[in-house]
Amino acid sequence: MSWLSRKQPPPNREDNRIAVSLKHLRALEFKARGFSFLPRQPVRSILTGRHGSRLRGRGLNFEELRHYRPGDDIRTMDWKVTNRTGKPHVRVYTEERERRVHLLVDQRVSMFFGSQRSMKSVVAAEIAALAAWRVLSSGDRLGGVIFDDHDCYTIPPRRSRDSVVELLSRLAKTNAALAAGQPSQASQLNVAMNNLARELSHDALVIYIGDGFGWDDRSDELLKQMSMHNDVIVINVFDPAEVELPRLDELIVSDGEMQIAVSGNRARLDESFRESFNEHVAHMQDVLRRYGLPLINIDCAEDPMNQLLKALGSGR
């Protein structure tokens, strides 16, 4: 490998492929159609089958205790009251009017990478915006945790446009602050997951959007903890260059200011890249499969909206 000392111009922060603006995220409201995170899914959706059977949807509120009537589900029988009174009683529940949805959005330096359409950090922000607008239109409460390499920003779940705008505003600010050249904190993933786990109660939906950098055994435990009484969906954002390096004799990699020319044993380098990525994804897949949780892979080279439609059954 050989260094090139020529200084490059700083990244264009007005380019939504590099740093996403709040205006761009707000405009995605009009594209957030044709998919949902509710239990009833189109037949081709990744959330059907065994994944769909785990989706709880909105929770239940206890409404009243009344006498048993013919046709009542025996599973709703309150045996303590029945035994005490000598007459069969059932517990009546009504569905909650809204569900809490928490977005867990990764905006660490590991996400500040892109070889084609957009940075991974931008794609994650776009997916979060699409999900946020869709949740709002479904009448559910939206909140989330947005985290970078140093901080976690928590937005409590609320059902209002102002709450969505607050989340997207924080997301745009965190995204704009990203810069290459700084080390990405692998442990910050678990910090963010732990923060969110403390906020959860039951029957909520958690959607993690990121590249899973730093996913380890502790992440497995936190995932298990969250999924015991809540639904969890993992959206893995990756760039094609992470899977296989471009077929060039020499690669020029830049952080916006400095460049590095990569040459030498390409076969060994390609193999190393593939092994690293495949091991990482395989571990996530194994853990999610163990708990019956869905994984949606999003390729940064393609339009994220089209990929969401395809994954959730409304696209081709």
Please name the amino acid found at residue 104. Answer: L
pLDDT exceeds 70 at position 85: yes
Q: What is the pLDDT of residue 51?
A: 44
pLDDT at residue 83 tops 60? yes
Q: How confident is the model at residue 193 (pLDDT cuts 50, 70, 90)?
A: very high
- Residues 154-177: pLDDT tens digits? 999 998 999 999 999 999 999 999
Query: What pLDDT was estimated at residue 255?
Result: 46
pLDDT tens by residue, 250-307: 555 544 455 555 555 556 655 655 666 777 778 888 888 888 888 999 999 999 999 9
pLDDT(5) > 50: no
Of 92-96, 140-144, 279-283, the poorest mean pLDDT is in 92-96
pLDDT digits (tens, 9 = 90+) for 18-73: 899 999 999 999 999 888 776 555 445 556 544 444 455 555 555 567 788 887 77
Provide mean pLDDT across the span 208-234: 92
Least confident residue range of 51-60, 195-204, 221-230: 51-60
Given a cut of 50, whether residue 140 has pLDDT beyond it is yes
Of the chain, the percentage scoring pLDDT greater than 90 comes to: 40
Q: What's the mean per-residue pLDDT of the chain?
A: 80
> Which of residues 206 and 34 earns the better pLDDT score?
206
Per-residue pLDDT band for 4 (boundaries 50, 70, 90) equals very low
pLDDT for 260 equals 56
Report whether pLDDT(10) > 60. Answer: no
List, in order, residues 6 or more apart from 209 with CB less than 8 Å away.
103, 104, 105, 106, 124, 127, 128, 131, 235, 237
Among 13-17, 81-85, 98-102, 156-160, the range scoring the smallest mean pLDDT is: 13-17
Residue 52's pLDDT is: 44
